[in-house]
Structure 1
C-alpha cells in the first residue's frame, strides 16, 4: 500500500504540472478558435472515451481486475504524453492533434482513478478505509494543486509548455512501476470476478441517500468546471500575470486543500451528510470572492480558503459510499460514483467555454458561485431530508 500511495503521489505531480501547461499549450495553438472554446474542448477531451468505459463497468457487467485497469492507464498515458511532448517541442503539434491525443490517450483515466482507490482501500481493510481515503486526498491536494502547478509554472515559464508533457509521461511510468512492484496480481480482483455481476446503480438503489448524494455531487462538480475555463483568462486579463501566476494560484488552492486534507482525521466524529452540505455552501463563496478581488495576493488568499473548505469533501464522500458495501460490490459502485462525479467535468467544460465568452471572465466566476449557492437547498433536501437510513459518522464509516 505504501508503494502504491508513493506512486500515486509522484504521478499526480506530473498531472498537476499539466493543469498549468495545458491551457498555455492550448492558447499557443488555438488559431481561429475562440480562446475559451479551445480551452474547454482540450480540457474536456480526456473525459469522453474514459466515461464510456467507466460506465460499462459501473452500469453494465464488464469486470476487469483493478490492477489491470491501472496498468493499462499508466502505459497508454505515458505513451500519449511522450508523443505529444515530442510534437510540441519540435513545433509540429496542432490543436486537432492535441485534442485527438487526449481523447484516446485517456481511455482508461476514470477506470484507472477508481482502481487506485480500490487497490489502496482493499489493502487497508475496512478499519483503515477512512484513513486511506484521507491519505489519497492528501496526495491529490499536495501533488495536483501545490507541487505540480508550481513546478509546471516554472517549467512553462523557463522551457515551454511542451516540456511539462514529458513530466506527466514520466509520472505515469513511475505509477506503473509502483503498481507492478507493490500490488499482487490478484489484489482487488478475486471478489470482483467471483461475486454476482450486479450493476453499480442497482446496488446504490439499496442506499438511496448515497444515490441522491451522487446526483448532488454531479451538479456540484458541473457548476465548478467553468472556473477552470475562466481561470487562465482571469490570471492573464484581470490579474495581468502569466503562467507562473496561474501556477501560484493553483498552488494556493492546493496549499489550503493540503491543510484541509490533513485535518480530515479530526472530522471523524462529525455526521457526514451535514458536513458535505456545508462544504458545498462554503465553496460557493470562493468564485464570487475571486471575481471581486483584482490583484494576485488577494486572489491567492481566496483560492487557498476555497481549497481549505473543499478538501474534506472527497474522502468523506467516498468513505460514506464504501461503508456497507460488500467487497464484490466495491468496483462497480466506486467506478460508477467516480464516473458520475467526473462526467460532470466535460459537460461543465463544454458549457464553460460559451458561458465565459458570453458573460466574461468575472461574470462567469460569479455565475458559477451563485448557481452553486442555489444548489445548496436542493442538496440539503436530497441528503438531509430523508433520514430512514442510519446516519454514520466519519469514525463509524
Structure 2
C-alpha cells in the first residue's frame, strides 16, 4: 500500500479523517437512488405515478445547477471544507424534514418534491468543495489519486447502495432509508467540521502549492495542461457537457434494446448495469496510475475508448461479447472526471477554484437529463439499437475531434501553468 500512489492520500492527516465520512455518505446516497423514487411511487396516485417519480428524481439533482449560479456571490470565496460541509448540512436538514413530516402524516407530493429540491440547492458547491479541498491540502502530483479515491467511493456506492436500499425498503419502507441518508449527511457534516476546523483549509493552499510537486520553473512542463490551451477552461466545461449529453440517450435506449430487440428480462438489464459499475470501480482505482500521462490526450483517449465500448451494443453484438465490453466501458468512464478535476486543480488559481468547479457542476448536472429526454424521440424515430449506435459514434467523433484539436494547436498559443510562487503564462514560440 505504501508504494501505491494512493498512500499519500490515505495517510494525509486531513483526508484520512474525512474519507470514512465520505464513504458513509456515499453509501447513503447510493441507497437514496432507490428510496427517492420509491417514496414517490407510494405517495402518488396510480394515474400519475410516472410523472411524480420523474419529478422527484429530477428535484434531487437538477436544482444544484440553479444553486451554482444563485449563490455564487456568497460562496465563491469560501474554503473547500466549508462548502462541502454546508451542502451536507442542507441535505441532512431537508431529508430529515421529509422524514419528520411523513411521520406526522403531513407529507404531500408537492411538499416532498419541494424538500428534495431544497436539499439539492448546494450540491454543485458541495462537489466543488470536495475537489477544492484536495487542491488546498495536497500538492499537484497527488490530485489525480485523490480525485480517483473520490470517484471510486461514488461508483462503489452506486453498486452497494441500491441492493441495501431494496432490502431496507422491503423491511421498513423508503422513509427509513431517506432517514438513514439524512443521518449519513449529518455524519459527513460533522466530519468536515472536526477534520478541518473553520478557516483552516484556506491556510493550507499556499502550503500545497509550495509542496507543488515536481515543477521546474526553468523547464515548464506544459504537456499536462495542453488541453487548457486547446479548448480553454470554458472548453473543458463545454466538452464535458457534450460528452454527458451524448451519453444521455443511452439510459432510454438500453432498457428498450434489452426488452424489444433482445426479448430479455430486467435481469439482463441489471446485469449490464452491474458489470458497468464493477468496471467503473476498477477504473476509479486505476485513475492515479494515469498521473504521468499528458492529461489532455489521456482525457480525449478516454472519450474515444468509451465510445468504442458502446459500439457492440449499437451493432447488435451477442450478449457474450457486448457484456464484457460494456464492463470495459465502465473502466474507461470512471477516470474521466478525476482527470478533468485534476486539470482544473492544476490550472485554476486557488482563489477561483471553487467557483469554477461550481459552474462546471451546474452545467454538467443538466447534461445527462437533457440527453435522456432527447433519447425518447430518438428511440421512436431510429429504434433502440440505432440510437445506441448513434450515441457510440458521436462520442467517438467527440474524442477524435478533441485529439485533432490538440495536434493542430497553434505554436503561438499561450499556456498557463501553476508554480510555487503563483501562476505564469508560457508562450510555446518563445520557450521552444
Q: Same fold (TM over 0.5)?
A: yes
- Per-residue Cα deviation, 1:274-314 (whole angstroms, up to 9, x for no partner): 2211211222244554464787x877645422211111111
Greater relative contact order (Cα < 8 A, sep 6+): 1
Cα deviation digits, residues 132-189 of structure 1 (max 9, x gap): 122222222222x322233234434555444432332222122112111111211344
Moved more, 303-312 or 358-367: 358-367
Q: Find the counterpart in structure 2 of residue 167 from structure 1.
A: 180
Correspondence list, 1:128-207, <5 A: 128-143=142-157, 145-156=158-169, 159-189=172-202
Query: Is contact 2:35-2:174 (8 Å) kept?
Result: yes
SS at match of 2:266: coil
| Alignment pair present for 1:264 and 2:287 | yes
CA drift at 1:80: 2.5
Residue of structure 2 aligned with 1:333, choices 356, 371, 384: 356
**Which residue is 1:240 aligned to?**
265
Would the aligned equivalents of 2:258 and 2:265 in 1 still touch at CA under 8 Å? yes
Unaligned runs of 5+ in 1: 193-203, 393-397
* Aligned CA distance change for structure 1 residues 357 and 65 (closer, same or farther; 3 Å): farther
2:81 aligns to what?
67
2:27 counterpart residue number = 13
- Please give the per-residue CA displacement for 1:97-143, whole angstroms capped at 9, x wherever unaligned: 44323222211111111111212331223343222122222222222
Normalising by structure 1, we get a TM-score of 0.78
Match of 1:106 among 111, 120, 130: 120
CA distance in 2, matches of 1:25, 1:231: 25
Indicate conservation of the 8 Å contact 2:249/2:371, yes or no: yes
- In 1, are the aligned partners of 2:79 and 2:133 still within 8 Å (CA)? no
* Cα separation, 2, equivalents of 1:154 and 1:342: 29
SS at match of 1:141: helix
Normalising by structure 2, report the TM-score. Answer: 0.72
Aligned counterparts of 2:104 and 2:388: Cα–Cα separation in 1: 36
Partner SS, residue 63 of structure 1: coil
Which range moves more in the overlay, 278-287 or 37-46? 37-46
Task: State which drifts further: 127-136 or 225-234.
Answer: 225-234
> Whole-Å Cα distance in 1 between the matches of residues 34 and 280 of structure 2?
17
Q: Which residue of 1 aligns with 2:64?
A: 50
The answer to whether 1:222 aligns with 2:245 is: yes
Deviation of 1:221 (Å)? 1.1
Instruction: Describe the superposition over 1:21-72 as per-residue Cα deviations: whole angstroms up to 9, x where unpaired.
Output: 444555564744484x655543332344321221356699853443333232
Does the C-alpha gap of structure 1 residues 259 and 86 become closer, same or farther in structure 2, counting only changes over 3 Å?
same
- 2:399 is the counterpart of 1:376: yes
Give the 3 Å change call, closer, same or farther, for CA 30–312 of structure 1 in structure 2: farther
In structure 2, do the counterparts of structure 1 residues 3 and 268 end up closer, same or farther at CA, with 3 Å as the change threshold? Answer: same
Summarize the Cα distance change of 1:126–1:269 in structure 2 as closer, same or farther, 3 Å threshold: closer
SS of equivalent residue, structure 2 residue 87: helix
Q: Deviations over 1:79-107 (max 9, x none)?
A: 33234456778998665444323222211
Report the Cα distance in structure 2 between the residues aligned to 1:294 and 1:82, rounded to whole angstroms: 46
* Change in CA separation of 1:157 and 1:229 when aligned onto 2, cut-off 3 Å: farther
TM-aligned CA distance change 1:376 to 1:126, over 3 Å? closer
Contact 1:253 1:306 in 2 (8 A): yes
CA distance in 1, matches of 2:80, 2:289: 30
